[in-house]
């Protein structure tokens, strides 16, 4: 995993932990707390899905221009493996 991926995972994990701790220490009834946890979990899942989609789109943008181009690598591999 590259540095950007590690940072993204760390930020999301920290946000999730902070949200859960904030909810658990709030002076609400248990049923209200469970509703808040469910909502925060859904919001976090949606946020992660959006960020992952953005990440995939970014990767595609970088890979697509080079798709189908081997820059002579196939020929080089053929000569090196013989």
Domain that holds residue 63: 3-81
For the full predicted model, state whether its pTM sits above 0.85. Answer: no
What is the per-residue pLDDT across 15-72, written as a single tens digit (0 to 9) for each?
888 888 887 787 778 788 788 888 988 998 898 899 888 888 888 888 777 776 666 6
* Domain count along the chain: 1
B/e letters for 11-25, b = 16+ CB within 10 Å, e = fewer, are eeeeebeebeeebee
């Amino acid at each position: 995993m590259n540095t950007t991926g590690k940072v993204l995972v760390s930020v999301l994990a920290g946000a999730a932990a902070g949200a859960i701790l904030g909810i658990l220490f709030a002076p609400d009834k248990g049923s209200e707390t469970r509703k808040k946890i469910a909502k925060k979990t859904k919001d976090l899942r949606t946020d992660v899905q959006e960020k992952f989609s953005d990440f995939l789109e970014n990767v595609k943008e970088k890979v697509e221009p080079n798709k189908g181009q081997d820059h002579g690598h196939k020929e080089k591999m053929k000569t090196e493996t013989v």
